[in-house]
A and B are shown apart, each in its own frame.
Chain A
Amino acid sequence: MNFLKKIKKHTKVSFLNYGIVIAFYFIIQAVAVSGHLTNSLKGQLIPIVSYVIMALALNLVVGISGELSLGHAGFMSVGAFSGVVVSMSLAGSIPSTGLRLLCAIVVGALLAGIAGVIIGIPVLRLNGDYLAIVTLAFGEIIKNVLNCLYVGVDGAGLHMSFKDTASLNLAADGKILINGPMGATGVTKLSTFMAGTILLIVVLVIIQNLVNSRTGLAIMAIRDNRIAAEASGVPVTKHKLIAFVTSAAIAGAAGALYALNYSTIAPKKFDFNTSILVLVFVVLGGIGNMTGSIIAAALLTILPELLRKFADYRMLIYAIVLIVVMIATNNEKVRRFIADLKKKKKQEDAKNE
C-alpha cells in the first residue's frame, strides 16, 4: 500500500486510462471469441476508437489549452483523405496491410499537423468566441475545398485537380482516388480494431506525457490566466500552438483510421455537426478530464445504436440529455443541493460510527 501511495496522482490516472483501453480491448476480444459480438457492434468498433481519439485530441485544445475549437472535423478530414490517398497509391509497392495503414496514419497526422500550423498561427491570436468562429470557418473551408478536390493515380504518379475528373489527365491504367463531392470510393479497408487500440494507446501516451510535462504546465498556466502567465515569462503563442498542432495531428490520425474502415467516404461526413459531436463528448466527459473523454465518447457512440428501438426519438432524447446534464452540472442551486446531500451523508456516517 505504501508503494501505491507514493505514486503521483497523475501517474495513477494515466495508468487507469491505459487500463481502461486495454480492458475494453480484451473484453471485446473475449466476446468476439465466444461469438456474442453482433454485427452492428462489430461495425461500430473502429468508429468508437476513432471518436475516442478525436475526443482526446479536442480535449487537449478545449480542456487543457482552454480554447474552443469548432472545426476539428476539418483536421479529421484532412487526415482521412490524405490517408486514403497514401494507402491506395502505395497498394502496389507495400504489400503488407499493416505497414500501409501505418503509413496512411503517419501521413494523415503529418498533413493535419501542417494544416494545424497554418490555421493555428493566425487563429490563436484571437480570443474566446472569435477564435471559436474562426475555427468553425476554417472547418467549413476545408470541407468545401475537399468537396472540389479530385485526385487520381496512374503509372506517372499522383494527379490533382480542382475542376473535374477529366482534367486529371490520367493514363489509361489510371484510377480515380478522390472524386469531388462523392469523396473516396473503392477504398481497401485496412483498419483493424487492434490497430485502432494500439493507436489509441500511443495517443494516450503522447497526450498524458505532454499534459504532465513542463510544457503542459505552461499550457495550463496560460489557460488559467493568460496575463499572469505572460508576465511570468511563458511564451503564450508558442505553447498554445504546441497544444493546437498536437491536437490537429492526432485528429488527422483518427481521421485516417476512421476513413480506412469504410469503402467509400465523402467530405460531407466531416462537417460542422461532427465537430459538435466530438465537442459534446468532451464536455459531457468533463472538460480537461481524459478518462471522462474516453468513456463519454465510447458510450455516446454506442448509445444511438442501443437506442435503435426508439429510432425516431433517439436524437430527441440525446438532445434532452445534453441540456439536462449541462444544467445539472453547471447550475449553482443544483450544485449546492448535491453538496448539501453529500455533507448530510457524511454527518450521518460520522454519527453511525
Chain B
Amino acid sequence: MLANLINGISLGSVYAIIALGYTMVYGIAKMLNFAHGDVIMVGGYVAFCSISYLGWPPALAVLASVFVCTILGIVIEGLAYKPLRNATSLAVLITAIGVSYFLQNAALLIWTSNTKVFPNVFANLPAIQLGGTQIAPVTIITVLANIIIMVALTLFTSKTKMGKAMRAVSEDKGAATLMGINVNRTISMTFAIGSGLAAIAGVLLCSAYPTLMPTTGAMPGIKAFTAAVFGGIGSIPGAMLGGVLLGVIEIFGKAYVSTQLSDAIVFAVLIIVLLVKPTGLLGRKIREKV
C-alpha cells in the first residue's frame, strides 16, 4: 500500500514535470504542443549518449540534456510554430503532430529502433527505509526535483519581470504588445523553459523505467497532457496536482484492478472530472463573450 503510494507519487511527479511544460505553452501560446513528449525522448537519448558513450558524470549529462532540449525547443518554436501564430488551432495542432513525427523518425535514424538500456544514474546513492518499505533514490530525487521545480516556477512567474511578461501575454497578447512586451521573445522563452523541464523529466523517467526507444516519449506525453487537462490547463499548481493524482491512480489501478486496464482507468477518471468540472480541477472558468 505504502509502496504503491510512493511509486504513484514518483511516477506522478514525472508526469507533473512534463505537464508543466504542456501547461505553460498552452497558457501562453494557446496551442497543444504534441511534440512535447518527443522532446522528453530526445532529452533521454542525449543523457544516455553523454553517460554511456562520452563517459560524462550524470550531473553534467543532465545539464547537457537540458541545454540541448532548450535549444531544440526554441528552434522548433521558431521554425514550425512562429509562422502559424495567427492560424487556426487545428493547423497548429497538425504542425505539432508533424514535428512529433519528425523527432521520432529522426531519433529512429540516429539511434535505431533497438532498445537502449538507460544506465542507473543514482546507483551510488543509498536507499531509504521507511516503515519497512525501501524507497529507491530515484523516487526521492524525482519527488524533490518536482517540488523544487514547482516552487521555482511559481516564484519565477510571480516575481521576475519575464514571468510577469508571460502572465501578461497569456492574459491578452494585444494588450501585452501595447505595454511594450516582446510577445515573440516571451513565447520563445516559454518553449525554452518547457523543453528544459522536458529534458529533466526525460532523465528521471528513464532512470525509473530504464528502456529507451524513439517512441518512449509518446505515451508519457499523452498521459502528462491528460494530467495538465485534469488539473486545469494553464495552471501551474493544477499541472502538479493533476500529474501526481494521475500517477497515483495509474499505479493503484495497476496494483488493485488490472494491469492492462490501468490506462483505461486513468482516462476514465479524466473524462469524469471533465464532465463534472469542464475546465479541470484548478482551471479558471472563462466566460464566453458574444
Contacts and interface: CB of A to CB of B under 8 A. Distances in A.
Nearest to A163: B258
B290 interface: yes
Contact of A323 (B98, B226, B278): B98
A134 B274 contact: yes
Mostly helix, strand, loop or mixed at chain B's interface? helix
Contacts of A272: 218, 222
B228 to A, nearest CB: 9
Main secondary structure, interface of A, reads helix
A225 B90 CA distance: 17
B90 A62 contact: yes
Nearest to A63: B90
Given A141-B268, A316-B106, A327 B83 contact: yes
Interface stretch (A142-150, A185-193, A292-300): A142-150
Contact of A326 (B91, B102, B218, B279): B91
A141 B290 CA distance: 36
A283 B93 CA distance: 10
B286 to A, nearest CB: 10
Nearest to A227: B290
A312 B290 CA distance: 51
Contact of A140 (B89, B94, B102, B267): B267
A104 interface: no
A57 to B, nearest CB: 17
Nearest to A328: B83
Interface in B31-77: 32
Given A141-B268, A283-B94, A330-B91, A227 B288 contact: yes
Interface in A122-150: 122, 125-130, 132-134, 136-138, 140-141, 144-145, 147-148
Chain A residues touching B, range: 35 or more
B101 A144 contact: no
A330 B260 contact: no
A279 interface: yes
A15 interface: no
A171 interface: no
B84 A326 contact: yes
Given A68-B90, A138-B267, A320-B102, A148 B258 contact: yes
B183 to A, nearest CB: 16
A330 B264 CA distance: 36
Contacts of A68: 90, 93
A20 to B, nearest CB: 24
Contacts, number: 123
Interface in A287-316: 287, 312-313, 315-316
Contact of B260 (A132, A147, A283, A320): A147
A280 interface: yes
A38 to B, nearest CB: 26
B80 interface: yes
Contact of B97 (A141, A145, A227, A280): A280
A103 to B, nearest CB: 29
A129 B87 contact: no
B102 A125 contact: no
A283 B92 CA distance: 11
A332 interface: yes
B264 A144 contact: yes
A133 B225 contact: yes
A141 B278 contact: no
Interface in A322-343: 322-323, 326-327, 329-334
A319 interface: yes
Given A122-B271, A148-B261, A322 B91 contact: no
Contacts of B258: 148
A318 interface: yes
A141 B86 CA distance: 34
Interface in B242-290: 258, 260-261, 263-264, 267-268, 270-271, 274-275, 278-279, 288, 290
From B26, B84, B264, residue with most partner A Cβ within 10 Å: B264
B264 A141 contact: yes
Contact of B261 (A144, A326, A331): A144
Contacts of B267: 137-138, 140-141, 144
Interface of B: 26, 32, 80, 83-84, 86-91, 93-95, 97-99, 101-102, 104-106, 108-109, 218, 222, 225-226, 229, 233, 258, 260-261, 263-264, 267-268, 270-271, 274-275, 278-279, 288, 290
11 contacts: A122-B275, A129-B89, A137-B268, A227-B290, A272-B218, A280-B94, A312-B108, A323-B80, A326-B91, A326-B94, A330-B84
List the 8 closest A-B pairs by CB distance, nearest first.
A322-B98, A137-B267, A319-B101, A330-B87, A144-B264, A319-B102, A323-B98, A330-B91
